[in-house]
A and B are shown apart, each in its own frame.
Chain A
Amino acid sequence: QVQLVESGGGVVQPGRSLRLSCAASGFTFSSFAMHWARQAPGKGLEWVALISYDGNNEYYADSVKGRFTISRDDSKSTLYLQMNSLGPEDTAIYYCARGSSGNFAFWAYWGQGTLVTVSS
């Protein structure tokens, strides 16, 4: 069965960096677009980034563009999110998700999320 397991969250000081990972299993990782979304405490979902199935295309929310980088290692079936210049507004649960067929289709599976807290 499809499994997505995020890791790398924690408490980080403002201005510092953090890298999240999402280990995938149960499907051919290299065949699917992958996504990151986040949810601040008590708030709704916010899309963060998308990487195409072949890694050639990346898309970012305006709120993270230039600070966050999404990447994938198909040999390890792992998705990454490099987060730089973190601020309190980045405090959230971060979810990875697998798309359906194509880059812009619905998100068929989600991980359980990893909590990032930006605080001094």
Chain B
Amino acid sequence: SYVLTQPPSVSVAPRQTARITCGGNDIGSKSVHWYQQRPGQAPVLVVYDDGARPSGIPERFSGSNSRNTATLTISRVEAGDEADYHCQVWDNPTDHWVFGGGTKLTVL
């Protein structure tokens, strides 16, 4: 089965840049989506198709995807960005959706 690997936690100071990675075999050939989940709330889409942003999501959120690693980048981090972030792909060979284990972003 296809596996996505995320670091359990990332810490960053306010106004700095946070980078959250999502590793997978040849993930660069897949479309990666990212969801933000604040404590006690449902997930919210923040980046889709590797690097596109839904309406209403700040430009500070961006994404990239190449070879075996996809990255969610949050620039000028704010306290309100503190949340869990989950990456997701559709795995064609198995016809399964796959989520990474999630990364807790802490704003110091």
- A: residues with CB less than 8 A from B are 35, 37, 44-47, 50, 59, 61-62, 95, 100, 104-108, 110-113
Q: Please, how many angstroms separate the alpha-carbon atoms of A35 and B22 in the complex?
A: 22
Partner of B42, one of A50, A59, A95: A95
B45 within 8 A of A: yes
Contact between A44 and B86 (Cβ–Cβ < 8 Å)? yes
CB distance from B43 to the nearest CB of A (A): 5
Chain B residues with CB under 8 A of A100: 48
Known contacts A44-B100, A45-B86: A106-B43 contact under CB 8 Å: no
Contact check, A47 vs B48: say whether CB atoms are below 8 A apart: no
> A62-B1, A106-B88 given as contacts; is B97 within 8 A of A47 (CB)?
yes
Q: Are A47's CB and B43's CB within 8 A?
A: no
When distances are taken between beta carbons in the complex, the residues of chain B under 8 Å from A110 are 42-44
CB of B100 within 8 A of CB of A108, answer no
From the candidates B43, B49, B96, name the one contacting A95 in the complex (CB within 8 A).
B43
Q: A45-B43, A47-B98 are in contact. List 7 more A-B contacts (CB 8 A).
A: A37-B97, A37-B99, A45-B37, A100-B48, A104-B90, A106-B49, A110-B43
Check if A113 sits within 8 Å of B33, measured CB to CB.
no
Q: Which B residues from 60 to 99 make CB contacts under 8 A with A?
A: 84, 86, 88, 90, 95-99
B37 to chain A: which residues have CB within 8 Å? 45
B89 → chain A closest CB, angstroms: 10
- Do residues B48 and A106 form an inter-chain contact, with CB atoms below 8 A? yes
Q: Are B48 and A50 touching (Cβ within 8 A)?
A: no
